[in-house]
Amino acid sequence: MYKEIGVYEYSNIVLEKMNPGLFLTTKKGDIINTMIIGWGGINVVWGRPIFQVLVRDSRATYDMIESNGEFTVSVPVGDSMLGAIKICGTKSLRDINKFEYCHLTPIKGRVIDTPIIGEAKIHFECRVIYKQPLNQVEVPEFVKKRYYNKDSSNHANHTVYYGEILDQYIFEKDK
């Protein structure tokens, strides 16, 4: 069951749920993937509602967004999805099918082809209208030390995707 919501109506909850994380889902052909994001947010750019997300160029999700130019953000409410958040935030599509492993239900998007996660509550369907790799020269040193240490697996760069929000709603599975 779908409930229409305003694009900014739940933006406070979206920001609160960045920790522990939101599901960012992508699709390429018949393959779907989801990962956890803890950076980003809803804002206005060029007079359009935008969901900004950051994705490392080493992630499978990066290749998928680059290929299809769209993504969904699914926001879990409550604590029932903490286990799935942990798995989807630490495992790669290259190692496991996170939808199968975590028993997540992909529900086709209403506007785009990329699915939402049926167990989450608040959803945003987005099409990329702009992207920008972070310029590491301009990134503050304290950020580089924490998130881009060349001696760790964190040396890959992020791309900031500006996803125009095409649809937003609450979805609840029929009981």
Total domains present in the chain? 1
pLDDT tens, position by position, 120-162: 999 999 999 999 999 888 989 998 888 887 655 556 889 999 9
Nearest CA-CA partner of 43 in 19, 11, 75, 10: 11
Pinpoint the alpha helices (H) of 55-102.
60-68, 82-90, 98-101
Residue-level pLDDT at 156: 80
User: Does the residue 137 lie in any domain?
Assistant: no
Contact in structure between 61 and 24 (CB atoms under 8 Å): yes
Could you tell me what percent of the chain has a pLDDT over 70?
A: 96
The domain of 27 spans 2-49+60-129+165-171
169 vs 155, which has greater pLDDT? Answer: 169
pTM recorded for the entire structure: 0.93
Contact in structure between 126 and 70 (CB atoms under 8 Å): yes
Residue 115 sits in a domain whose CATH number is 2.30.110.10
